Chains A and B, each alone.
Chain A
Amino acid sequence: RKEVEQDPGPFNVPEGATVAFNCTYSNSASQSFFWYRQDCRKEPKLLMSVYSSGNEDGRFTAQLNRASQYISLLIRDSKLSDSATYLCVVIPTDSWGKLQFGAGTQVVVTP
C-alpha cells in the first residue's frame, strides 16, 4: 500500500463549478500536510499548507481529518488556469523533513 494515495482523475470540471478531492495517508504520526500544484512539464509549486483547523486561501479550501487520515482540497469558482495536477504531500514525524508525495490528481477545467 502506498504511503500517500490520491485518485489520479482526471476530474473534468466546467468553468465556474466547484471540485473537491481527497488524499489518504497511512502514517498516523504524520505531522505536516501540504497541497502542491504541478503544471504539465513544470516543477511542483506549493499551493497551500493544511492546518488542523482547516484553512482557506481565496477560492481554495483545505481540510485535515486526522481520525480518518485524509486531507482534502476544494476549489470554488474554477478557472481555466486551475487546470493542473494537484499533489498531496505529507511529512511524517522523525522523517528528517522528507516529504512523501501522492502521485497527484489531475484537474481539467473546461470552458
Chain B
Amino acid sequence: DVKVTQSSRYLVKRTGEKVFLECVQDMDHENMFWYRQDPGLGLRLIYFSYDVKMKEKGDIPEGYSVSREKKERFSLILESASTNQTSMYLCASRSPDEAYGYTFGSGTRLTVV
C-alpha cells in the first residue's frame, strides 16, 4: 500500500511565522498535491506537482509556496502565517492508475494564533 506521511499531526504557530509542512510518499509517484479542508467548503487545492522541481498553482495558492526537490517529498510553505490559514492541511499522492484515485496523508491541523 502507498503510504503518505505528513510530519506533524497538530501544529500551533503565531501570526507572521514561516511555517513548513512536510509530506513524504513511498511509492515513487510523480504527482503530489496539497489541499486544505475547511467546514462547509470541502477540500480546496493549494498547489500540486507533477515531477521534481515542477509545481503548479491550484485554486487557492495565495499566501503559500511549495518545494519539490526530491520525488518523494513535497513541502508546503506558509510564508507569513495568518489566522485565516488555520485549517486542516492534507497532502496526497496520486496513483498512475486512475482507478485508485489519491492516497492521502493523515493531515496536519494547523492553528495560527
Contacts and interface: CB of A to CB of B under 8 A. Distances in A.
Contacts of B103: 46
Interface in B35-92: 35, 40-43, 45, 48, 50, 56, 58, 90
A46 B31 contact: no
A39 B48 CA distance: 24
B111 interface: no
Interface residues of B, number: 25
A41 B10 CA distance: 11
Given A8-B40, A98-B33, A98-B58, A49 B101 contact: yes
A42 B106 CA distance: 6
Interface string A69-97: 00000000000000000010101000011
Interface in A23-46: 32, 34, 36, 41-46
Given A43-B105, A98-B48, A98-B58, A103 B42 contact: yes
Given A96-B50, A98-B58, A34 B101 contact: yes
Contacts of A99: 33, 101-102
A98 B35 CA distance: 11
Which of the four size classes fits the interface of chain A?
20 to 34
Residue of B101, B104, B106 with most partner-chain A CB within 10 A: B101
Given A46-B101, A49-B99, A49-B101, A101 B43 contact: yes
A52 to B, nearest CB: 13
Interface in B5-51: 31, 33, 35, 40-43, 45, 48, 50
Given A98-B48, A98-B58, A101-B43, A43 B99 contact: no
A97 B40 CA distance: 24
Contacts of A36: 101
Instruction: Please give me the 10 A-B residue pairs with the lowest Cβ-Cβ distance, nearest first.
Output: A103-B42, A43-B104, A101-B43, A34-B101, A101-B42, A46-B101, A43-B107, A32-B98, A49-B99, A43-B106
